[in-house]
Each structure stands twice: as structure tokens, then as C-alpha cells.
């Protein structure tokens, strides 16, 4: 199974929103061949709880602008999960990212190249 073009589009929009709020360590994991409900996990790091909140708010704003609304939003002290059904965005503090290691949990899955990450690298960010 492959990722739908719509899911690819909203993943790229969400990644741009994360970069705009200085989120780091972005990775998009292609789960389309796994037995899970989502096609993509987009994982990012915020430096503190305020930045985690700010990143999540920006992702929601940017995706709402293109007609997407999360099915649910879950929040902890240092993490936020935004569930858009086929795309799930995980924003975590540095400590929680190291603790949960979602990247390593799904490391056998392919990743998706993110335009925002390439652009940020070209601009020295």
C-alpha cells in the first residue's frame, strides 16, 4: 500500500509549520505497509513545553487553512499528539523523545523526505 497524495500534502504542510516554530529533529515515518491505522507518523522535538504548545498550535492553524481538522488532540506536560487519521503528529520535549524513542520503534519503516527540512538546511537552520 502507498501513502495517498492527500496525506503526503498534509505531512509537508505540517512539517513547514513545525520548522516555522523552530521545531527540530523532524522525521516522517511511512507506516502504509504496517498494520496500523495511520499512514504517516510525523515526529518533532520542542525545546520546552511552551514551544511544544506553540508548534502544535501552528500545525493546527496551517492544516485548518487547507481544510484539515484533527480527529483528536491529546496533551501531556511535555508532549502533544495531533491525530488527523492518516497523519499523526507527535511533538515531544527532548527528554520525552529520548524516553519513548518512537523513531527507533518504527526504524524498520521507510521515511519520507520533507521539503521543509531540506529548505531549512539550505538556509542554515
Whether 124 is in a domain gets the answer: no
**For 12-59, what is each residue's pLDDT tens digit?**
999 999 999 999 999 999 998 886 778 999 999 999 999 999 999 999
Q: Residue 85 contacts by C-beta under 8 Å, 6 or more apart in sequence?
A: 37, 38, 71
Q: Bigger pLDDT: 36 or 82? A: 82
Supply the CATH number for residue 87's domain.
3.30.460.10
Whether 125 is in a domain gets the answer: no
| Average pLDDT for 1-6 | 88
C-beta separation of 89 from 44 below 8 A: yes
- State the pTM of this model: 0.94
Range of the domain at 105: 5-119
Q: How many domains does the chain have?
A: 1
Whether 58 is in a domain gets the answer: yes
Amino acid at each position: 500500500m502507498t501513502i495517498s497524495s492527500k496525506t503526503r500534502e498534509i505531512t509537508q504542510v505540517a512539517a513547514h509549520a513545525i520548522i516555522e516554530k523552530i521545531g527540530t529533529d523532524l522525521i516522517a515515518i511511512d507506516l502504509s505497509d504496517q498494520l496500523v491505522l495511520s499512514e504517516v507518523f510525523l515526529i518533532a522535538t520542542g525545546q520546552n513545553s511552551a514551544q511544544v504548545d506553540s508548534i502544535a498550535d501552528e500545525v493546527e492553524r496551517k492544516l485548518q487553512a487547507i481544510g484539515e481538522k484533527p480527529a483528536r488532540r491529546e496533551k501531556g506536560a511535555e508532549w502533544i499528539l495531533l491525530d488527523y487519521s492518516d497523519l499523526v503528529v507527535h511533538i515531544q520535549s527532548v527528554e520525552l523523545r529520548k524516553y519513548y524513542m518512537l523513531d527507533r520503534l518504527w526504524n524498520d519503516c521507510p521515511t519520507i523526505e520533507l521539503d521543509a527540512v531540506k529548505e531549512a538546511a539550505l538556509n542554515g537552520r
